[in-house]
Amino acid sequence: MDIEVLQEHPIMEEKPLRIWKKAMYFPYRKQIANKWWEEFKKVWHIAGPAIITSVSVFSLDFITAAFVGQLGDVELAAVSEVQNVLLGFITGIMLGLGSALETLCGQAVGAGEFNMLGIYLQRSWIISMVTALLLTPAYVNASRILKLLHQDPKISDLAGKFAIWTIPEIFASALNYPTEKFLQAQSKVWFMAFSTMLTLVIHVLLNWIFVTKLGMGLVGAAISGNISFWILTVVKIIYIVCGWFPEAWTGFSYLAFKSLTKFLKLSISSAVMLCLEVWYYTAVILIVGGLKDAAIAIDSISICMNLQVWTLMVALGFSISASVLCLSYLAVLATASAEGLPKTAALPTKVEVRSVYTLPSPDPTVWDFTGVRVSNELGAGNPKAAKFTVGVNVLISAILGVFFAVIILATKNQFPRMFSKEQHVISETSKLSYILALTIFISSIQPVLHGVAIGAGWQFLVAIVNFGCYYGLGLPIGALLGYKFNLGVQGVWSAMLGGSLLQTIILFVIIGRTNWHKEALQAEARVRRWGGSVETQLGS
């Protein structure tokens, strides 16, 4: 899919709001709007299914929590501990192992070696399934592990029971994550979107049958999750092996067992930084689980964390489409203004500067359109356009953050009822609504800043910032406020929010002090060093 990249032009130095004001009086508004709509449809061909996939997959656990929450506060706390501690721990590993496949499949597609895709997929299946087998004892002994981590004994016992029943889901995930990367590498995003939506509908129906109608409680919720994840996985595997990929899938091969050691090393290195991101939330739940009235504390913070992540994915999706919408519109405006067209002239058709990129992962923690925009602009030698892209995306994301924060505050006494009917849980969750609203606002901006850093090639620097803010500041201060100063779950989350706020400020400072002209030159040098070539015309 080709995506427009902004032309270098002095208008990019102006503030976004001022340009929007000028655009409203531009004589070719109607023609610009038509071009804008065409580009909007092109981008949503990729952005739409990726958003649907991300939201649908996350909503599987979201739905489970909503049904279990109606059983009681202890049951919800038990499921939350399994989802956020055990499953969170394993998900970090599985996603990390899968990210190695993403790299290799992307390179294979770029090199035209489609026959290697099936081999890479099978190697990843082998490693992931062995990993799932090695991690199974953690689920079998979940109750003992949680008690060793000073979690509430009653919650730990229920969590252990639920964890044992969810063991089949581990192996479904072990096959599912590599399969997703295989499909992503070949841009089969619409199939992924439809399959996840279908699974989500089935998951709601299964929970209604097993949890509500048959009254099977936690066991019913676990069975529903197992069936749903296996349906999702099997549908994708059937799609792959039944002849839809004649070049990429040529059948099972003994070559899958070759070079497993090298593949494993790449998988482990890919998993490390992703695990640090995912396990941060695991650590937060563990800290909260040791507080007084642990069931209420875990319930309230898990409800808020679920809503935060869900709104983050929705906001990210709207940010992607709105960013492209805005930037495509301004690209046409800038070009038309630069050419000094008379009022009777038609809009220029040569505005496009095309740049092709590989579709990234739909996972919201890594899938950010801003990074693509910035890397495209720097690679094309357009430092001013890259800077302008940052400003517009931050503005749009901030507006979306305010929108969701206002909704949370307006419904602070209603949204907790989606997950629990216990009045003390509803009351405690409502008290967290102000912190949740501020967290959602900051989280809406963070993906843009992360995307800028990735687009500019600052991954290692961001990893250091993340580690320092989360593990060096957020968790220690959270434990101190929660236990020493008896501020409970509000103290823990306030520190978590403080770490995120500090991270956002640091990234703002780094980006604000960046010499974009220099970054564009460095991007050109990297492309040349990697064997490519670019022609740039850098502004002074």
Note the pLDDT tens digit of each residue in 487-539.
999 999 999 899 989 988 998 888 777 665 665 555 555 444 444 443 333 34
H helical segments located in 82-114: 87-111
- Output the six-digit token pair for 411: 């419904």
CA distance 50 to 317: 8
Average of pLDDT values for 122-142?
91
Q: The pTM is what?
A: 0.69
Answer with the residue of higher pLDDT: 316 or 471.
Answer: 471
Mean pLDDT over the full length of the chain:
75
Distance from C-alpha of 71 to C-alpha of 494, rounded to nearest angstrom: 29
Measured CA to CA in angstroms, residue 234 lies from 73, 381, 387, 460, 530 at distances of 34, 45, 44, 37, 38
Judge contact between 222 and 60, C-beta under 8 A. Answer: no
Report which of residues 379 and 170 the model is more confident about. 170
Q: Residue 45: how many CB atoms within 10 A of its CB?
A: 13
Read off the pLDDT of each residue in 76-84 and give the average, rounded to a whole number. 88
Tokens at residue 216, please?
């099977």
pLDDT digits (tens, 9 = 90+) for 398-426: 887 898 899 999 999 998 998 888 888 89
Q: What angle do CA 413, 414, 415 make, to 5 degrees?
A: 110
Of 349, 305, 291, nearest to 486 by C-alpha is: 291
Average pLDDT on 131-138 reads 92
Higher pLDDT, 430 or 313: 430
Is the pLDDT reported for residue 8 higher than 80?
Answer: no
How many helices (H) and strands (E) are present in the chain, helices listed first?
20, 2
Domain boundaries of the chain, sorted by first residue = 71-290
pLDDT in tens, 313-336: 765 555 454 444 444 444 444 444
- Tell me the C-alpha distance between 295 and 298, whole Å: 5
Contact 510, 503 (CB under 8 A): no
How much is the average pLDDT of 63-81? 90
Instruction: Kindly state the DSSP code that residue 72 receives in the 8-state scheme.
Output: -
Asked if 357 and 439 count as a contact pair (C-beta separation under 8 A), the reply is: no
